[in-house]
Chains A and B, each alone.
Chain A
Amino acid sequence: MIRLIRTSIMLLAFSSLCSAEMTKITDDDLAGVIGQGVYLSGEISINENGGPLANSFFGACTDANKECGARLSFQTQQGGGWFVLGNIKGTIAFEGLTLQVRNISSGFGGDGALFNKDVMEIGLPESLRMNDFQFTLATSSNARPGDAGFQQVDLLTVEMDGEVTLDGNLLIFPTP
């Protein structure tokens, strides 16, 4: 259960955009949305053609013996091993990611009137497509693959490709 939630939270963190096929609630409930922010569309691609490193571990994507994705690792104990988010690569294309500062003073089942403040609203994209997006969760003994005695224990690898159904807004605001 813990892993389920952790996985879903992490997937949420990495996947972003999809076209929603369902109708959502009308604009009436999104009261207070008057403002001219920006509408963003485009793509984010990570290590589509590999990365700049070339050594015993990292290499070209065409080389089956080498890893070509990006790698993030962190160490939680002094002298300890490393948590790894590795072999991150792929493309996420999206349309309709919106950004604006929004004043909320109504809606939200009554919360809006009590809140009555500005928030940064990030509108999730209208359509989000993953293109061979993948990453691996692992733990390793050293930070740099290629170091002597390097060992890595892969936990799992996630691969995503295709249109993601995503809808809604992320509201970010300071909490006093």
Chain B
Amino acid sequence: MFLTAQNKLKVITFLVLMPFGYASAELTSLSDNDLSEVDGAGIGLVMEDFVFSFGNDPANDKVFKITGLTSTSGESVVVNVNQLYIARSNSNYGTTLDGVNLGRLTNPYEIDLLDGDDIGLTGEAVLQLAAPTKVDASVGYDCLDTNAVAGSGTCSSRPSSASWVNGERPDIGLEMEVNVGVEAPRNMNINASSAVFDGSYIRLWGDEGTNKMAAEFRLNFYTPELEISTCSQVNQGCGSSMKMRDFELELALGNTFQPLYFGADSITGGLTIEIAKITHDYINNIDLGTGLSDGTVDGDAAFAFFQDYYTNPAYRSNIAVSDLNISGTSLGSSKVEGLLIQYLDVKFRDLSP
């Protein structure tokens, strides 16, 4: 499977549009992944009063572009990043830039070394890069509500409020102008307001059996409004946009039984991403017809394992949107819940030999 620039953008939109087929009125927050936090020790990072903004602006001698991409027809694609910004919420698409905090002193972004014994990887040391962890609902904040108060949810990052102006929920935006060959440039903007990543992490360890670096990747992304638009840079609030209200993404790629392996091909040099098939030492003790244990101790152990695997929400991914609004027309809510990746094998390669 190969992805060009055009195809890569299509994949993103596909992932986003997928919930279209699953309409539901449910707006409750989805499963609480990994509330049980694992105590690692390491380095805590907090950004205080942070603002970042940079963009392509030839009039002011600024260049910010992404090149090296080619379209399916072989034309070069140059993406001018009109603005990439991170700032306090209510930034009005990155025009009002105030400082935001990222992470909390009591719950920072972390780089840790975990004891694998605590997370099901016996005898392994695990490197973890993590966003602030989720907390108990009695002390946390609702992940989507910009007026959330303590005790309303499981996210620890707080929204901007009168008592705590910065907040820990930034506005993030990537506003691009895509130039394919000699065609007219097209704008493509992605803006998220009051974004929360609590509970996200990536865990890396060495898998001795396969001699590969193994990973467990969790991405939680909550935003009360995620907007994808084709508005021009100066007219960011224009109508040709798709707004997703109460966007929740909880993506689980890889776990301790099925690690995510990413690497590069030693011949073509292309990027490879794989998740191996789930298996168990005693899988042969499961009756393939009924899906139940064959009665042996090994079979029971295998059954318990698979039972947990299929019922535990920690291994599943979810995407939910409370309202999908395209250019003013509301299409209602949608949800993809309980997506379990049982096998993945992706290889990138160059189109031109």
Contact = CB atoms under 8 A, between A and B. Distances in A.
Interface string B55-86: 00100111111111100000000000000101
A3 B54 CA distance: 18
Contacts of B40: 175
Nearest to B350: A153
Interface footprint category on A: 35 or more
B51 A171 contact: no
A168 B99 CA distance: 7
Contacts of B112: 175
Contacts of A167: 49-52, 97, 99
Given A18-B54, A76-B212, A77-B213, A165 B97 contact: yes
Interface in A30-78: 30, 75-78
Contacts of B271: 139, 153, 155
Given A18-B52, A155-B68, A162-B57, A139 B269 contact: yes
B298 interface: no
Given A4-B174, A153-B348, A159-B63, A141 B266 contact: yes
Contact of B267 (A21, A78, A136, A149): A149
Interface in B22-65: 40-54, 57, 60-65
Given A12-B52, A25-B166, A111-B105, A140 B99 contact: no
B278 interface: no
Contact of B84 (A2, A8, A80, A142): A8
Interface string B149-191: 0000000001000011110000010100000000000000010
Contact of B45 (A150, A157, A171): A171
B212 A141 contact: no
A4 B349 contact: no
29 contacts: A1-B249, A3-B8, A3-B12, A4-B174, A4-B190, A5-B219, A8-B86, A8-B172, A12-B52, A22-B98, A75-B264, A81-B266, A81-B267, A82-B269, A111-B105, A114-B105, A136-B68, A138-B269, A139-B264, A139-B269, A153-B348, A159-B66, A165-B51, A168-B49, A168-B51, A168-B99, A169-B50, A173-B44, A175-B40
Interface of B: 8, 12, 15-16, 40-54, 57, 60-69, 84, 86, 96-99, 101, 104-106, 108, 110, 112, 158, 163-166, 172, 174, 190, 210-213, 219, 221, 249, 251, 261-272, 348-350
Interface of A: 1-5, 7-8, 11-12, 15, 18, 20-22, 24-25, 30, 75-83, 104, 108-112, 114-115, 119, 124, 136, 138-142, 149-176
